[in-house]
Each structure stands twice: as C-alpha cells, then as structure tokens.
Amino acid sequence: MISQPFREEHELVRDALRKFVTHEITPNVQQWEREHSCPREIFKKMGDQGFLGLTFPETYGGSGLDAWATVVLTEEMARSNAGGLSMSIYAHTYLPLPLILALGTEEQKKEYLVPAIQGNKIAGLAITEPGAGSDVASIRTTAEDKGDHFLVNGSKTFITNGSIADFVILVTRTSENGLSLLLFDTKTEGFSANSIDDKLGMHSSDTGELFFENCKVPKSALLGELNKGFYYIMNNFQEERLLGAVMMVSIADWAFKKSLNYSKERSAFGRPISKFQTIRHKLASMATRIEVIKTFAYRAVEEYIALGPKAMNTISMAKVFCSEESSRIIDEAIQIHGGWGYMEEYGIARAWRDARLGTIGGGTTEIMYEILSKTLIEDVAHKNVVETRVEA
C-alpha cells in the first residue's frame, strides 16, 4: 500500500485554506495583478486564521505541525492562481522566520517572530544585490562595528516584500571573509526602498530595491553568531528550494486540470478538442509527468523531515527537475488553450509568467547543477580513496 503523508490535521488545514482562498483571494486576484499590489491586510487575515504559523511551535503562536502542512499551504495557494501573492506569503513565512526561530534570542522572537506569525508585521529576507545573486560570497553590503552599534551601508535588489516589509533579515559583510545576519527594522533612519513593478510575472508580489545609507543598527539586532551568516543562509536555502519545487508542481497541476476541463468544453470541427488524439495524448503525457514530479517533490519533503539540510542533493535535484518540467507542462497548457491561453481571461498566461521564475529564484538551474556536480564528484573521489585504503 502506498503511504499517505497527509493526516487528519493536515486535511483540516487544507479544508480551511481552500475556503479562505475561495472567499478572500480568488475574487481579488485580477485587481491585485492589475494594480501590481500585495495587500497588507491579507497577511493579517492569514495570521488570524493561523496559516502563517503552521509549522512553528505553539509557544510563539504557531500550530506545531510538520513540513507536510507547508505542502498543504503551497498546494492550496496554487489554486488561487495568484503566484505573486503566494510568493510574498512564502517569502514572509518560510525564508526569514525559520532563521529567527533557530537563531534568535527570546527577546528577538518576541519582537519579530510572534507578530510575524500573527500577520501584524511583514518580513523579508534581504540577500541578493545588484552584483551578487546566487553567489552569496560576493555580497558587498557592509555592517561596520562601531562599538555600540553596526553602521550599515549598501543595497539589495529583487527582495520579495522589500518595499512593504516592517523588518528584513539583512545579510551583511562584517569582515573580509565573514557574513552576518541582522534583524533590520525598515523604520531605521537612512533606509529607503523602491518597489520594482516592471516584471514579467508575480505582479501581485511586492519586489523591492533596498538602500542603506549610514544606518545605525543596535548590536542586539545580530541574529546568531557574528560572521556565521554564510553557513546559516546555506542551510536556509534548502527549505526555500524544497518549497520552490512543491510550488512549481502545484502550479503545473492547476494548469493541467484547467486544460483538461477546457478540452472537454472547447469544440473544433464539430466535436470537443478532447476527442482529438493529439490533445488526448498531450493530456496523458502531462498527467504522467505531474505524477512523476509530485512523487519526487514528496520524496524530497520526506528526506528533509528526516535529515534536514543534509538532504541537499535530493532537494537540489527536485528543485531543478520539478521547476524545469513544470514550466514545460504549463507551456503545453497554453498550447491546448490556443488563442485563449494567450489571453488573461483563463489565467493560464498568468501561471506561465509566474512559473517562469521557478528556474531562477532560490538558485538558478545552472547553480543547482553546479552544486550537484561538485557533490557527486567529491562523493566519487571519497569512495575511491576509501576503496583504495581497504584494498591496501
């Protein structure tokens, strides 16, 4: 018998999320997309329902559920066809907040984690710079030690929630070879932000450019140990990439089901297009590939629950395979819809635009392959050394 990862508590969350998406998100998506707006009130509404704290301890206002609850959230948010808003919710909940939970003092958790879970404060993770994307080691934003405070100078770009965040976890250079994390309040003097609206997709997600000019940050804002930020971020990337894989599968599944229904309704040459072998076979192929990538994504979740960041190889593979294959599936969904797929009315065009970020965000496909190739080569080299020693 195939094991079922979702228990009763997960299905209760799914039912609640499905109702929330239907009533609070789906009716408003087109307006948010047109306005390029990410409404603050949706964070509060989701916080009130407990959706922002599913996997966090009850001590801090969460529900204490496992990673499968995150999968449920991702799958149900995909039903809204609001990839942008979904991205902002994920970037708020699963990028900065796990770092605060793992590294923060009780005072930091009380000041930042608890209100973020409640939806009273919006959070972001500020890593990428104009000259440093996947190459975290090239970060140039500095936090100079001034005795009783850090003096921050530099800039960040492509930061989800960047211009609406109440605080960000800021990755800064604190020594020649060391990075550190700071809990940065966006009300700090010398800080400014611009919203980046001219994007291919994710229009209902806030994306910001951040600027830091002689910003004084108290020493109490240091998250974790000084100069250990690189290691913290590398571990945190695993959850982000895992979530990216699940999100892409969910968008592809939505697009497939939309295409399946459309093929039964749309007629050509006197019969539904689902009666044409070309379309039937395309749908069968899409369904098969979705089962494959969903199974792979679920396996990565299982390994992450068991091993944490040590599941890096499987997560990297899942991120690459699921995002690349999902993009192809969604592209085929547009083809099935024909001219209507190119229009905004059916939502497939939006899904295609939003999903295009999947092979870029959280580490590009090329970076994932580089990580995997290095790991595989090192594993082979290590195995050869061990075998040589045994033979000797």
Task: Give pLDDT tens digits for 113-135.
Answer: 999 999 999 999 999 999 887 77
pLDDT of residue 224 exceeding 50, the answer is yes
pLDDT at 86: 95
* Residue that has been written with the tokens 């140039």 in this structure: 140
pLDDT tens digits, 175-221: 999 999 999 999 999 999 999 999 999 999 999 999 999 999 999 99
Q: Residue 179: beta bridge partners?
A: 173
Burial (CB < 10 A; 0-12, 13-18, 19+), residue 58, is: exposed
Q: What's the pTM value of the predicted model, to 2 decimals?
A: 0.92
Q: Domain ranges in the chain?
A: 8-122, 124-227, 231-382
Helix and strand counts by DSSP (H, E) for the chain? 13, 10
CA distance 186 to 226: 21
Question: Which CATH number is 124-227 given?
Answer: 2.40.110.10
Residue 126, strand partner residues: 170
Instruction: Label residue 271 exposed, middle or buried (CB < 10 Å: 0-12, 13-18, 19+).
Output: exposed
Q: Is the pLDDT of residue 11 over 90?
A: yes
Instruction: Give the residue numbers annotated as catalytic, written as ranges.
Output: 240
Tokens representing 39 are: 């409404």
Q: Which CATH architecture has domain 8-122?
A: Orthogonal Bundle (1.10)
CATH superfamily of 231-382: Butyryl-CoA Dehydrogenase, subunit A, domain 3 (1.20.140.10)
CA–CA distance, 242 with 298 (Å, rounded to integer): 9
131 burial type by CB count under 10 A (0-12 exposed, 13-18 middle, 19+ buried): exposed
Q: Which two tokens stand for residue 36?
A: 């390029």
Taking only the tens place, the pLDDT of each residue in 328-368 is 999 999 999 999 999 998 999 999 999 999 999 988 999 99
